[in-house]
Structures are given as structure tokens and as C-alpha cells.
Chain A
Amino acid sequence: MSVALTDIRACLEGAIPGVMATCASDGTPNVAYLSQVFYVDERHVALSFQFFNKTRQNILVNPQATLLVLDPVTAAFFRLQIRYLRTESEGALFESMKAQLAGIASYAGMAGVFQLRGSDVYEVQAIEPLDGSPLPAPPARGGHLAAVRRGSERLARCGTLDELLNTTLATLSDALDIPHAMVLMMDAASQRLYTVASAGYPASGVGSEIALGQGVIGVAARERTPVRIGHFTSAALYSHAVRRSVQADTPSLALATDIPYPGLAEPHSQLATPILSQGRLLGVLFVESPLDLRFSFEDEDALVALAGHLGAAVDLLQSAPDTAEAPGETAKAPPRPPGLAAAPLQLRRFASNDSVFVNDAYLIKGVAGAILWKLLTDHVQQGRTEFTNRELRLDPSIRLPDVSDNLEARLLLLQRRLAEHGPDLRLERPGRGRLRLQVARPVVLQTVSG
């Protein structure tokens, strides 16, 4: 019977750790328990290098090693002949293993003891299934491929970013039984990710931000690699808990512009997948669970596939030409005229970071804040309610980046923040490339410079 590494991926994830034998230069054997056997690809595994121990000394003089792993369901044994190739101490593989090890260490009561110095990459030369009396294998689930297919079919019918994100979250919940999820988009200028959609939380957290490199989400984005943790980790590096970073330029505002991160306070499983298209990072698809070991390698495969479809679809939307014509006079009349008796909304904009406050409550900042201000200013000065994507792209006050401006994501963020904030301001999308601002009360605009 020939066994491929892909056939025994479940053995690399079991709670019973793998063991490895190496030999010293005189042949003296040594056995080591492994914290992690990480699947790299069809022909390679990586083991965590944590200590300068006998195993370390041995593989540097004799790269030949033997690995014994066990199926966590059937108890079938597999023995692997492996050969040490190299150690990586930075990059995608290293960061994925480091995050995973942090969860393993916390679970094993070894936080502070287990520390990843490097990812030792081994070539798998042979896999030997051992005779034994294994338990019967459970029937193949096969649910992941069907779930990916369902998601793919549904995504292919979506015509807007709003629909794409809702469909992705619905697919995770309906087809993969993953109710806690969020999508974050990348803002290249600030090197931060902002939440544009979420499911399964008391508050949506739309608009909340995570810095590149912060937490499982930030590491997945920075390294452009999936990061999967199977246990709760106390390591602060992998926490997304809100850290109220003070912005030096507007210290008085910094706290007020935080939107709380919506996620679970103590996730026991986390999986973050980068959303990529044409080699560029668009954002991160993130799922989590209160259960240990909730996400398997099959879940990871499914999420990577869905994130790939989502990335391509988002990119296609963003790069579609702005087809809408300039709005005519007929489209100008606001459907809901401001009530005469209503007290005006006081809107303040802080020019330093384009943050906008409504009656002293924080609404939005950054590019989306600048867009809102342009719409409101034109509304107040010219009575306009209809706008186009094209004019936003051309407006120098909005300062959209030239390439991959993510305009659709920023408009969706603005739309959702307005809807969550209150009943008086709405942004609608009457057609491709078109926007409609709904203002239910008179507004008073004030800009604070500096």
C-alpha cells in the first residue's frame, strides 16, 4: 500500500504528539517528543525548533531522521523517513507555526517554555503504514468540497460587494457550520485592516481596525498565509483584544475613534485566511470558535478556496469601469425631505484624520470619512443627493490611492456605519457606480483644522 503525505494529514494534527528518532555522529540514537508536525506541502513537513537539544545537535551532523505518527481516530501508526533540509526563522511558514505553537503551549501549560526559534523543514522520503489493529475509519465526510461548491455557486451570482460579503458569511454558517466570522479589508496607506462585515457577534464591529501583524488576523495579512490555532492562547501577540493606541497627532480624539473589535473574548480556535488577488492582499477572512480544535486542515482548505473566489470577485468589482453617467436633474429630489421641525444634526470633521462625529458621537474616519464629508458638503451647498463613484475617484479632497483604491469596500463601510449609527443619514446604491445620500434632518457642518 502506498501512502502519500496528503493521506495522513490528520495524523499531524492529533492530540498525541509525534515522536522522532535521530542519531549522533557515533550512531547513538535519541528520541524526542514533538510539539508540532506541520504539513508544508505534498513532500515536506516542518518541525518546531524550540531548544538547543540533542535532536538539534544530531540533525546538524546527521540529517536522517525517523518520525512516528498516529491517526487520532483509528490509532493506526505511520512511520516516516525524513531528511533535514533547512531552518526558516522568518516568513510565512515560521509565522504560521509560531502562532499555532502559542496555542499548543498555552493548552499544554507550557506558555513561556515553548518558544519557536525556527521551522526545521524536512523532506519526506518514505511513508510506511504499520501493521496493527486500528479502529474502523469513520465514513468519509466529504462535506467540505460540497460546501465550497455551494459557496462558489452562490458567490458567482453576486453583483455587489455587499452581496459577496453576505454570501461568504452565510456560506460559512450554513454550509460549514461556522457561525462566528468576519471579513476585514486592507488599507494600504495606514497598514491597517478594517472590518467590513461580520456574523455571529452581538455588535457587528464594522469599522473596527487591526494593525498589520497584530493578532492571528494581522499575522495572516502580513505573511499572506493562513494561520490556524487550535487552543486558546494567552500570548498577547495573538490576541485581537482592543488595544487603545493613541495617535500622536490627535491625542484627544484617539480613544473616541475606536470601534470595539467584535470577536470572541476567549476564542479556543481561530483561523485567518488572507484574501488575495493578482498577488495583492485585499483583506482577511477570519473565523473563530469557543471550542478547542474546531478547525481542521479541511476547514482551512475550504476557507482558502472561498477566500480565493471572494478575492477574485472583489477585485473584478473594484476594477470594473465606472459606467454610471452623471446624475441628471430628475434624480436630484430627495425622497425624504428634511422635516422642518427636526433639530439639525451637528456634524464635525477633524481635518487631521478625516474623522467625522455626529452630535459628538464618533462615526467614521479616514478615506470613508472624507467621502462622507464630500457628499454632505455638496448636499448642503448644492442640494445634491445623487453622486457617482467616478466623481469620488476624481475628487482630490478624498485622496484615494491611485491603484486598487478599494472604493467599493470604503463605500460599504460608510453605508454600514451610517445604518448602525442612527436613522437620519443613509447611503444607498441605486445602481452600479451610483450613490444616493438620504438626509432626514437638516445638517450643520463644521470642520476643525489641525
Chain B
Amino acid sequence: MSAPPPPPLLAPEHVELIARGVSTIVASHDLAHRPSLMRALGSTITPDGRQVTVFLSRRQSRQLLSDISSTGHLAVVFSEPASHRTVQVKSRRPRLRAAQPDDAPALARYRQAMTHELSLVGFAPAFAQAMLAGALEDLVAVSFEPDEAYDQTPGPKAGRALGGDGGTA
């Protein structure tokens, strides 16, 4: 009989933050340890918090996608613009696939949520649409289970590891 899986790193409040559709930034690095990064054009999370998917534009993220493929290292920050609530997750086991037509509803929900978030900090809908524009056929879905998670909301708890017992980011 196998051991039960470890409890998820992300608490319900963090899952809720990510599921709502907030600012999503993705980073990796090349073999010379030069970092690469880009803003994702969409993100989803399963209700148990074990499966995260971020969508990247190929034309904007060539180096980043190449680095994720070659090193398997990934860091993603989720942040709510109006409140600065921020979570960072890291993984070494991402899977890449082309975005599919059945991803479209999730991407549309994300754009709608971000348009609302950005309106709260003073940006017009057209700005959000331009910032998050991307054709489905240009998008790559990067899915992973978080190996590490950190609370990065500015303040005394910034860098605190979530779901574990130590470490900072």
C-alpha cells in the first residue's frame, strides 16, 4: 500500500487568488543561468491547488519556452494589482503543449478578470486587452505541480514558505 500524497502546498486562499485570474509572470533560465521571463496571457489552477497551467505567447517567449524545455526550471508569480497580494510557486516538472480550442473559455475568463483587476488601478479595458492580446494558435500551455510556494505579499511575511517548514524566496 503506497503512502498517501503529501498535503497541497497552497492553502485555499492562495488557490482562490490564482483561480480568480490575477497578474501572472513566468520565469526560467538557460544553461548559463541567465534568467528569462514573460507575462502569461492566462492561467488556471485546479481546485485542489495541485495543477497549475500558465499560457505563454510563443512570439513573446521564445527564450523562456526554450529554457523551460531544456532546464525544467520554472517560477511563476501571481499578484493581485490592487492589493499587492502575491504568491510565488516553483516547479521542476513542467509539461508543455500547444493551446487547444477547449482552452479558449479559460483564456477568455482570465482576460475578463484581468481587465477588471486593471480597471481597479486605473487602466481602461482597451489597455488590458492590448496587454493580454494573443491568438490561440500562438499560445503554449505550461502545466506543473508546485514543488515550492512562497508568500510574497510585501511586508513582514514576504518570502515565507507556504505548506512547508522553512526556506525563503
Contact = CB atoms under 8 A, between A and B. Distances in A.
A133 B133 contact: yes
Contacts of B60: 77, 130-132
Interface string B83-125: 0101010100000000000000000000000000010011100
Interface in A194-209: none
A278 B44 CA distance: 60
Given A21-B75, A53-B158, A30 B169 contact: yes
A96 B26 CA distance: 31
B127 A75 contact: yes
Contacts of A64: 33-35
A383 interface: no
A107 to B, nearest CB: 11
Interface in A7-61: 15-16, 19-23, 27-33, 51, 53-54
Contacts of A23: 29, 33-35
A15 B60 CA distance: 22
A362 B75 CA distance: 65
A397 interface: no
Interface residues of B, number: 45
Contacts of A30: 27, 75, 88, 169
A352 interface: no
A68 interface: yes
Contacts of B154: 110, 113-114
A241 to B, nearest CB: 28
Contacts of B127: 75, 135
Interface in B17-45: 25-29, 33-39
B35 A54 contact: no
A66 B77 contact: no
A108 B154 CA distance: 11
A133 B59 CA distance: 12
A21 B130 contact: no
B126 interface: yes
B76 interface: yes
Most buried by A among B25, B34, B128, B130: B130
A21 B133 contact: no
A75 B131 contact: yes
Contact of A29 (B35, B79, B134): B35
A430 B164 CA distance: 81
Interface string A91-116: 00000000000000000101001100
Contact of B76 (A31, A74, A113): A31
Nearest to A64: B34
A321 interface: no
Contacts of A15: 121-123
B61 to A, nearest CB: 9
B141 interface: no
Given A29-B75, A53-B159, A135 B126 contact: yes
Contact of A66 (B37, B73, B128, B152): B37
A160 interface: no
A134 interface: yes
A79 interface: yes
Contacts of A131: 57, 59-60
Contacts of A53: 158-159, 168-169
Contacts of B162: none
Nearest to B92: A28
Nearest to B138: A131
B25 A31 contact: yes
A371 interface: no
A110 B156 CA distance: 11
Contacts of A318: none
B157 to A, nearest CB: 11
B74 interface: yes
Given A53-B169, A54-B168, A130-B60, A29 B29 contact: yes
A23 B32 CA distance: 10
Contacts of A108: 84
Interface in B46-94: 57, 59-60, 71, 73-77, 79, 81, 84, 86, 88, 90
Most buried by B among A16, A21, A22, A70: A21
A114 B158 CA distance: 12
Given A79-B37, A110-B84, A132-B60, A21 B27 contact: yes
Contacts of A135: 126-127, 130
A21 B159 contact: no
B155 interface: yes
A132 B73 contact: no
A130 B123 CA distance: 21
Given A28-B75, A51-B159, 7 more contacts: A21-B35, A28-B29, A29-B74, A33-B84, A81-B34, A132-B60, A132-B130
25 contacts: A16-B118, A16-B121, A19-B37, A21-B27, A23-B29, A23-B33, A27-B71, A28-B29, A28-B75, A28-B90, A29-B37, A30-B169, A31-B88, A33-B79, A33-B152, A53-B168, A53-B169, A65-B35, A110-B84, A113-B155, A130-B38, A130-B59, A131-B60, A133-B130, A133-B134
